[in-house]
Structure formats: structure tokens, C-alpha cells
């Protein structure tokens, strides 16, 4: 066999799992979600004005629950609602919060960019953890893959909800 006949082994395609708990335990994922969401400026005057005008609006609660659910591969709003009611640590973090699929769908539509940012942050941390990257810089191409993975999760959630609405 000549060198021209030798075929290189096909490259294994890099993939980010839909359920990041295959890369990091769920308690660690939830810790990362909370840390990333808490890093937002919750004292912003604009946000405080919205919260004061709408005391039942709980964006921190919705962001944590939705980012955590999407990071663990649960996209349908019914499933996301179940995540809150079946995971004791979420009930402990947010006791006596109301949650419905319609609330989740509306929040996802209105705050898609914020959800994508939170998911990308958690995916990035999961990747660093899984591959033991520490604080090494993540190349731009890999960052694009991370943002795409976050976007795919949000699109999947929307499609699941649309297909369930048609049933």
C-alpha cells in the first residue's frame, strides 16, 4: 500500500451533550447557574423599576430554573415546570413560587438573549470542567460552538412547546 492509498482516520466530531450532567454533576451545574445569574446587575435602576411595578415578576427565579433545565436537557415547558417541582434544591432556593408553562414560554420569548447568555456561560464552565481547562482561553471558534449550542437549546424548547400546542 502506498502513502497515497493510506487514508487518515476520520476526525471525531466535537459535540456538546444536550444534558450537561454527563460532564458535571447536577448540584455543580445548579451552583454554576446560580453564580452566573447572580453575576448580573440586579441593582439596575431600570430593573428595580420593573420589579417595583410588577412585584409578582421573578426574573431571577425564572432564569435559574430555565437555564438549569435547559442545561440538563429538559426543554418542553411542562418538563421545565416539573424540574422545579421535583428538584428539592430548587424548591429550597425558591420556596412558594408559582410556575406555569405559559409563564415560561412568555419569559423565553421576551428574554431569549439573557437565557442564551446564561446557557452559554454554563456550557463554557461545563466544558472547562470536563476537559480540565482551568482558566485557559477558549478559542473564538469554540466560543461560537458554545453560543450555537445555547441557541439550539432555546430553539428546541420553542419547537417542543409549539408541537405540544398543536396536539
Contact 123, 20 (CB under 8 A): yes
The whole-number pLDDT of residue 76 equals 95
Q: Which residue has the cell 411542562?
A: 78
Nearby residues of 106 by Cβ (< 8 Å), 6 or more positions away = none
pLDDT in tens, 62-85: 999 999 999 999 999 999 999 999
Residue 161 CA: distances (Å) to CA of 26, 47, 107, 119, 149: 24, 28, 13, 19, 19
14 with 145: CB under 8 angstroms?
Answer: yes
DSSP-assigned letter for residue 94: S
> 10 Å Cβ neighbour count for 64?
22
User: pLDDT for 101-110, tens place per residue?
Assistant: 999 999 999 9
Residue carrying C-alpha cell 433545565: 69
Low-confidence ranges of the chain (pLDDT < 70): 1-11, 166-167
Amino acid at each position: 500500500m502506498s502513502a497515497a492509498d493510506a487514508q487518515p482516520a476520520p476526525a471525531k466530531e466535537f459535540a456538546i451533550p444536550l444534558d450537561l450532567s454527563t460532564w458535571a454533576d447536577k448540584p455543580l451545574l445548579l451552583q454554576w447557574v446560580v453564580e452566573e445569574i447572580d453575576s448580573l446587575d440586579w441593582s439596575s435602576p431600570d430593573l428595580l423599576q420593573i420589579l417595583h411595578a410588577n412585584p409578582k415578576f421573578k426574573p431571577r427565579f425564572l432564569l435559574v430554573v430555565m437555564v438549569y433545565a435547559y442545561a440538563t436537557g429538559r426543554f418542553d415547558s411542562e418538563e421545565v415546570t416539573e424540574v422545579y417541582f421535583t428538584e428539592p434544591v430548587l424548591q429550597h432556593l425558591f420556596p412558594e413560587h408559582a410556575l406555569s408553562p405559559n409563564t415560561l414560554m412568555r419569559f423565553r420569548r421576551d428574554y431569549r438573549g439573557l437565557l442564551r447568555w446564561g446557557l452559554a456561560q454554563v456550557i463554557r464552565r461545563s466544558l472547562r470542567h470536563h476537559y480540565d481547562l482551568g482558566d485557559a482561553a477558549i478559542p473564538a471558534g469554540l466560543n461560537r460552538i458554545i453560543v450555537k449550542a445555547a441557541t439550539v437549546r432555546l430553539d428546541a424548547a420553542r419547537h417542543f412547546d409549539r408541537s405540544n400546542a398543536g396536539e
